[in-house]
Amino acid sequence: HISLDERTGSGFVSQDLYLHGFFRASIKLPADYTAGVVVAFYMSNGDIFEKNHDEIDFEFLGNIRGKNWRIQTNIYGNGSTNVGREERYGLWFDPSEDFHQYSILWTENQIVFYVDSVPIREIKRTQEMGGDFPSKPMSLYATIWDGSGWATNGGRYGVNYKYAPYVAGFSDFVLHGCAV
């Protein structure tokens, strides 16, 4: 479990760096009013390549009670936001009621995001992308943090800490990657 309260967010990171692979976690999001709370499951090398990092991520953007949940996917290659930037999708279930599987398939030529084995987004590498396709080894992360300034309806709704702590559960990890 990872949690967010008025003092701090939290997260964890893999011990290994990976160059391509299949990565999955079963995740259960915090329930009730979670506006502004961002839960992320992602790959990044920003701690190694600060100015030209790669990133592949799922971001859950918090929720207002009674509204449908939205998920955002991103890819960055070589620090560029020209390709793969922020696509948002509505979920067809409430991810705070039970665990659901979120997966990333990353190969040399494509990235596919899955929700419960259903592909929701595919990015194929093209020659025009050049270095904008993630191609450097990355670690796997999970984090929870305060994204009040942008996450829910463009920052219209922020975190209300009277509902804290916000707790996200992670289980059933699959890290089938080429460890570097």
Residue 55 annotated among the catalytic residues of the structure: yes
**In this structure, what are the phi and psi dihedrals at residue 14, rounded to the nearest 5 degrees?**
-65, 155
d(CA 94, CA 163): 18
**Domains, in order of start, for the chain:** 2-179 (2.60.120.200)
Among 52, 111, 103, 43, CA closest to 81: 52
Set 59, 86, 108, 122: catalytic member: 59
Spot the catalytic one: 55, 97, 108, 122.
55
Task: Return all residues near 106 (Cβ < 8 A) that are at least 6 apart.
Answer: 20, 21, 22, 23, 43, 56, 134, 177
3-state secondary structure of 163: helix
User: Does the global pTM surpass 0.85?
Assistant: yes
**pLDDT tens for each residue of 114-150:** 999 999 999 999 998 888 899 999 999 999 999 999 9
**129: exposed, middle or buried (C-beta count within 10 Å: 0-12, 13-18, 19+)?**
middle
Q: Are 42 and 141 in contact (CB under 8 A)?
A: yes
pLDDT tens digits for 81-123?
A: 777 778 999 999 999 999 999 999 999 999 999 999 999 999 9
